[in-house]
């Protein structure tokens, strides 16, 4: 396979990854890393480096459109990033104490249960009648565009959501996976944000964490331009297309897509945990 052919294949696969990442809020790394390592036999460290670039591209490309169109809740994203960052530091500290194989099995079970809960509900939450006082104090409540005009919503479960983001940071540091799944679930199921707000805010948050990690990989020489450039172009294009599709996409179908991706990730985590591959 020539370099041009490799770049074209990587760019096409990355486009699909960016499209999926923008629609679900998971980031494109879930698709990019298996694409590069399993199908194209790229070294895992370089695949992770390219994946981090793709996550930043997804977040930058999609988040800019979402913020402009009024979907992302910037205050919620910045507030929850504090918990994710602190959790990542704690996870890095205790990484040598907790067996990652056991944690992977537990995480896989949690994802399967979350997918079950997500699949049972196909509609957005009704407007909250009892907003969290802390959300009101921090001015986290907002509104987002719908076909009927701007729909106001109130944020619930601020502290439980903050705690789940802390867990997301720990899991991300221990297992080296993106925490977009946990972020979307925390905002959608615990904080009762509309699903489109949850996915768009997750896109905004993912890039902040990935940027710091990408700096470390760049310093260690694990970001190869021949691989990272087509990944970045493909994911960025896919993210921009996904951002346009999200505005008219059915929440029901987005939930189904989200559920399928979560189940696949859960099965992978259970397999790696049981086989000791984590």
The pLDDT, as a whole number, for residue 118 is 61
Residue 64 to residue 57: CA distance in whole angstroms: 11
Judge contact between 164 and 187, C-beta under 8 A: no
The pLDDT, as a whole number, for residue 25 is 63
Q: Round the average pLDDT of the chain to a whole number and report it.
A: 78
User: Where is pLDDT greater, at 207 or 127?
Assistant: 207
- Give the DSSP H or E segment for 151: strand 149-153
User: Where is pLDDT greater, at 144 or 203?
Assistant: 144
Pairing of strands 149-153, 142-146: antiparallel
CB-based contacts of 253, cutoff 8 Å, min separation 6: none
Arithmetic mean of pLDDT, 57-62? 67
With CA atoms as reference, report the closest residue to 57 among 27, 91, 85.
27
User: Where is pLDDT greater, at 100 or 244?
Assistant: 244
- From residue 112, give the alpha-carbon distance in Å to each of 5, 121, 165, 185: 37, 15, 18, 12
What are 150-193's pLDDT values in tens digits?
888 999 999 999 999 898 878 766 665 656 677 887 888 888 88
User: Where is pLDDT greater, at 211 or 202?
Assistant: 202
CA dihedral over 227, 233, 234, 235, signed as positive or negative? positive
pTM over 0.75: no
Residue 150 to residue 77: CA distance in whole angstroms: 20
Arithmetic mean of pLDDT, 120-124? 57
User: Where is pLDDT greater, at 49 or 174?
Assistant: 49
What are 208-256's pLDDT values in tens digits?
767 766 777 787 788 888 888 898 888 888 878 887 787 677 767 777 7
Tracing tokens 């615990």 back to the chain, one arrives at 190
The pLDDT, as a whole number, for residue 126 is 61
Residue 263 to residue 259: CA distance in whole angstroms: 6
User: Where is pLDDT greater, at 79 or 115?
Assistant: 79
Judge contact between 75 and 187, C-beta under 8 A: no
Confidence band (pLDDT; 50, 70, 90) for 75?
Answer: very high
Residue 87 confidence (pLDDT) above 60: yes
């Amino acid at each position: 396979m020539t370099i041009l052919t490799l770049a074209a294949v990587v760019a096409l696969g990355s486009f699909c990854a960016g499209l999926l990442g923008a629609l679900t809020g998971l980031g494109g790394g879930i698709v990019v890393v298996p694409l590069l390592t399993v199908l194209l036999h790229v070294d895992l460290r370089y695949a992770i480096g390219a994946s981090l670039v793709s996550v930043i591209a997804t977040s930058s490309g999609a988040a800019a459109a979402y913020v402009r169109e009024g979907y992302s809740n910037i205050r919620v994203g910045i507030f929850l990033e504090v918990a994710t960052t602190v959790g990542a530091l704690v996870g890095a500290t205790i990484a040598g104490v907790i067996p990652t194989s056991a944690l992977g099995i537990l995480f896989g079970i949690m994802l399967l249960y979350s997918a079950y809960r997500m699949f049972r509900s196909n509609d957005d939450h009704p407007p909250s009648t009892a907003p969290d006082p802390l959300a009101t104090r921090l001015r986290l409540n907002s509104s987002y565009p719908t076909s009927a005009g701007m729909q106001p919503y109130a944020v619930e479960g601020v502290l439980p959501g903050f705690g789940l983001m802390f867990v997301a940071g720990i899991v991300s540091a221990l297992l080296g996976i993106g925490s977009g799944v946990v972020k979307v679930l925390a905002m959608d199921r615990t904080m009762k944000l509309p699903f489109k707000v949850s996915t768009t805010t997750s896109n905004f948050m993912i890039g902040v964490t990935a940027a710091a990690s990408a700096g470390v990989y760049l310093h260690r020489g694990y970001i190869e331009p021949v691989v990272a450039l087509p990944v970045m172009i493909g994911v960025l294009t896919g993210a921009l297309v996904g951002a346009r599709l999200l505005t008219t996409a059915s929440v029901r179908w987005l939930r189904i897509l989200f559920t399928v991706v979560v189940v696949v990730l859960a099965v992978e985590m259970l397999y790696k945990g049981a086989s000791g591959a984590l």
